[in-house]
Amino acid sequence: MTRQRLFQMVLFAYPRQFRLEYGKQMEQFFRDCYRAERVSRGRLGVGGLWFRTLLDLARAAPREHLENLGKDNAIMKNFGKNALAFLGSIALVVMAFLLLSYGRKHEVSTILIFGRVLDALVTAGIVANLLIFLLMTIIHRNPLRIALWTLLLVNGALLLVSTVVGSKVDPNFNLGGVIVGYVVSFLFWLSLHWIWSKASGPRPVSHES
């Protein structure tokens, strides 16, 4: 089992589309080679097989990546998308900080629960959007679904922390206000991501190979 897992790790050096298309066959191929080497030459043969496999990886993986790059410029396309998403996240964080400093300066926290909502919007916004950005670059799944679960978990975790810590530290702690704050924050950021997903349209089918 270990050798199979090790080989699966080796496969991660190849482009995703190549892995999807040939990964299972390559695993089968390696299993066949392993069996043959173990029977015919024992440990020495198995060592030689790993050496050849790693040497082959060093030669073949860069070639597949280069071919991928040359075919549809996939890396540059993703780089552009990621740069845009990163700049968007930075802009959101800056806007959130400006709103917070405005709120603090004008003491809007005294107006009903506006301060709580603002706090929740900023903290959940920074943490959740950075996480969403990271997850979207790693996991190529539906971005809105990633945003939904991340926002739910982050807002939930922050609500829990605020409730536990705030009730001990702040004598004027208002649980209702904190809950409303994180619910509004969740709905606000989810709406933004929903609008973003509608504006960017459906994800195109990847043709990278």
Backbone phi and psi for residue 69, each to the nearest 5 degrees, phi listed first: -65, -45
Question: Which is nearer to other proteins, 14 or 182 (by Cβ)?
Answer: 14
Question: Which is nearer to other proteins, 49 or 118 (by Cβ)?
Answer: 49
Positive or negative, the CA dihedral 16, 19, 20, 22 is positive
Q: For binding to other proteins (CB under 8 A), which residues are involved?
A: 14, 18, 21-22, 24-26, 28-30, 32-33, 52-53, 55-57, 59-61, 63-64, 209
Question: Which is nearer to other proteins, 14 or 186 (by Cβ)?
Answer: 14
Q: Residues 6 or more apart from 122 whose CB is under 8 A from it? A: 96, 97, 99, 100
In this structure, what DSSP letter does residue 140 have?
A: -
* Inter-axis angle of helices 16-72 and 2-11, nearest 10: 20
Tell me the three state secondary structure of residue 112: coil
Q: What's the residue count for the chain?
A: 209
> In the complex, what is the shortest distance from the CB of residue 153 to other proteins, in angstroms, rounded to a whole number?
38
> In the complex, what is the shortest distance from the CB of residue 204 to other proteins, in angstroms, rounded to a whole number?
20
> In the complex, what is the shortest distance from the CB of residue 3 to other proteins, in angstroms, rounded to a whole number?
13
> In the complex, what is the shortest distance from the CB of residue 70 to other proteins, in angstroms, rounded to a whole number?
13
> In the complex, what is the shortest distance from the CB of residue 60 to other proteins, in angstroms, rounded to a whole number?
3
Question: Which is nearer to other proteins, 26 or 178 (by Cβ)?
Answer: 26
Continuous H helices in 73-174: 74-105, 114-138, 143-169
Question: Which is nearer to other proteins, 55 or 187 (by Cβ)?
Answer: 55
